[in-house]
Chains A and B, each alone.
Chain A
Amino acid sequence: MSVTHHISGELLADYASGAMDEGWSLAVATHLSMCPECRRRLVAIEAAAGVMLEDMDGAPAASTDEASWAALKARLEAAPAAVAVKAAAVPRMPGGIPAPLSDYIGSDYSTLKWKALGLGAYQIPIEIGDRTVQARLLRIPAGKPVPEHSHGGRELTLVLKGAFRDGELVFGPGDLEETDDSVQHQPVATPDEDCICLAITDAPLRFKSRIMRLIQPIVGI
Chain B
Amino acid sequence: MTDRPDSAPSGQPDAKAAGVVDEVGVLLLAIGQSKDMAAFEALFRQYGPRLRAFMLKRTADPALAEELMQEAMTNIWNRAASFDPARGSASAWIFTLARNTSIDLFRRRKRPEMDLSDPALMPEAEEAADRMIEARQSAAAVRAAMRDLPPEQLEILKLSFFEEVPHSAIAEKLGLPLGTVKSRIRMAFGRLRTALGEQS
| A residues less than 8 Å from B73 (CB atoms) | 72
Which residues 86-139 in B have Cβ within 8 Å of A in the complex?
A: 87-96, 98-100, 102-103, 107, 109-115, 118-125, 135, 138-139
Question: With the chains together, A10 CA to B182 CA distance in Å?
Answer: 8
Q: Are B124 and A36 in contact (CB under 8 A)?
A: yes
Q: Are B120 and A36 in contact (CB under 8 A)?
A: no
| B residues less than 8 Å from A51 (CB atoms) | 91, 142-143, 146
A43, closest chain B residue (CB): B88
- When A47-B89, A72-B74 are in contact, do A52 and B146 touch as well, CB less than 8 Å? yes
| A residues less than 8 Å from B12 (CB atoms) | none
- When A13-B161, A17-B161, A49-B95 are in contact, do A58 and B142 touch as well, CB less than 8 Å? no
Which residues 73-106 in A have Cβ within 8 Å of B in the complex?
A: 73, 75-76, 81-83, 88, 92-103
Q: Are A68 and B70 in contact (CB under 8 A)?
A: yes
Tell yes or no: A46 within 8 A of B by CB: yes
Nearest-neighbour CB distance to chain B for A199, whole angstroms, equals: 15
| A residues less than 8 Å from B196 (CB atoms) | 40, 44
By the criterion of a CB under 8 Å from any partner CB, how many residues of chain B are at the interface? 80
Q: Are B109 and A44 in contact (CB under 8 A)?
A: no
- When A18-B100, A52-B161, A58-B49 are in contact, do A72 and B112 touch as well, CB less than 8 Å? no
Q: Are A22 and B88 in contact (CB under 8 A)?
A: no
Q: Which residues of A are in contact with B by a Cβ distance under 8 Å? A: 9-10, 13, 16-19, 21-22, 25-26, 28-30, 32-36, 39-41, 43-54, 56-62, 65-66, 68-73, 75-76, 81-83, 88, 92-103, 107, 128-130, 174
Tell yes or no: B62 within 8 A of A by CB: yes
- When A13-B160, A68-B66 are in contact, do A35 and B87 touch as well, CB less than 8 Å? no
| A residues less than 8 Å from B192 (CB atoms) | 44-45, 48
A76, closest chain B residue (CB): B77
Nearest-neighbour CB distance to chain B for A104, whole angstroms, equals: 8
Question: With the chains together, A145 CA to B99 CA distance in Å?
Answer: 41
Question: With the chains together, A52 CA to B153 CA distance in Å?
Answer: 13
The one of B70, B78, B102, B135 that contacts A81, using a Cβ cutoff of 8 Å: B78
Most buried by A among B103, B119, B120, B196: B120
